[in-house]
Structure 1
Amino acid sequence: MLRRCEEAYVLGTRPLGEADLLVSFLTSEAGKVRAVARSAKKSRRRFGAALEPLTRVRASWTETEGRDLGRLDSCDILTSYVEAQRELPLFYFFAYASEVADLFAREQEPDPRFFRLFAAVLDAAAGGLPVTAARRYLDLWTLRLQGLLPDLSSCSSCGVDPAAERGAGAGECVVDLSEGALLCRECAGLAGAAGVERVRLAPGALRAARFGMRRGPAEAAVLSGPLEGLDSLSRRAMLRFTERPLRTLRFLAEGA
């Protein structure tokens, strides 16, 4: 048996048998972990509010060789976002963030960068960052860390920076997800219909994505507001990985 203790975010729980709960949580050094909280369904005295979704906790669990599920021994609350989630838009965003982490974090695979991203975005959202900006920041950086977001610095064909162009239509570009490439307006036209998964980005969307991703989420308010093509880019890129739309997206739209 291996006993572990780490900071973690509770991603969710579901009933397991008559008395237990199966808990999923995100850690820095163990990736996504699933563990059984004995008697947690029957009585809240042992874990209390520590198993509320997206509570930051210090989790202790025991792993047994040959078993997929660990045994959750204790959970101590470090940060609770219960008060922040009393606002409906934040409640829906936190549910969305939990689903993103559950889908993209890998079980038993350390990913400290994603853990830090997740922590920073939740803190920024709870601290007043507009929900739209928080969601876009989480989307873009999740895709980048997973290797699913093309390089947005210049056209992959000619090397021109679309944002530096002048004249009518300057700054417009296309992201070809099937090729993993950013194309300027001219190269996108020359490439014709090649690549079936193309997303057009308006000039403001490309600049905002670059600017926002160069800063921490607390300074990413530039990602709020109408940025044509940016949401389509992130959702279609995610769909290539998840193969289904995220369930919480429609609730997020309703709460916006």
Structure 2
Amino acid sequence: MSQKQINRYVVIQKSLEGLLTVKEAAKVLGLSERQVIRLRKGVMQSGVSALIHKNKGRKPSHAVSDELKGKIISLKLSDNYKNANFKHFNELLERFHGIKLSYSTIYNILNSTGIKSPKKRRRFKPHTRRKRKPQMGLLVQMDSSPFDWLGIGCNYSIHGAIDDATGKVLGLYMTKNECLQGYFEVARFMLENFGIPASIYSDRHAIFLSTKASKLSIEDQLEGKVCNDTQFSRAMRELGITIITAHSPQAKGRVERLW
């Protein structure tokens, strides 16, 4: 007997001895008075065995037989079904073998024997192109691309800026390597000829974003800790320009396609 059944027997026995009323026993056991009366009657007739559920030790009538379990496991391990995931296997059992069981039942039978469902193929998620900004000057994409632009067997980096709304090139400047000077020259040409944009979209190069930014923990951010601006980001901030950094080349695809 479980401890719960022992406690219930003690309370029922006290009720039979007149030490507790039916109402008091019902309150102690958390049962209705009708249930207590039924239990009292059962204990009087059969003793403590009346408190043990009649189905204890019996297999549920709706339980899957060991023979059927063995058949399901054998079919799953066969060459015909070994590569089918559990959901598909469940459907095949009903279609070709007349075995109609719930998915959870099939899952529990197979999983209990150590059989795992083959991994599903990840569904291809197409990249949706971000819509262009509605007006020129709201967002400018900046980037640099190293290439043998002069055809002399030596790479040079072209720094460029392109307007997101119109696709218009706002400035280009070539240097030996990607550098701060290249982006400053592009920014100077853009500002003098097209005005101040609202924001600049760039990659996470150290020219735009401090290398320490990724090292800030959530706790540090909650405490208000921030990284110092880079020279370029500080200059843009003083002009009221917001710098937005992308996490992938595809995110700033317009300037990438420019190259």
Q: Same fold (TM over 0.5)?
A: no
- TM-score normalized with structure 1 length: 0.21
Higher relative contact order, structure no. (Cα contacts within 8 Å, ≥ 6 residues apart): 1
- Over alpha carbons, which structure has the higher Rg? 2
**Which one has a larger percent helix, Structure 1 or Structure 2?**
2
**Which one has a larger percent strand, Structure 1 or Structure 2?**
1
- TM-score normalized with structure 2 length: 0.20
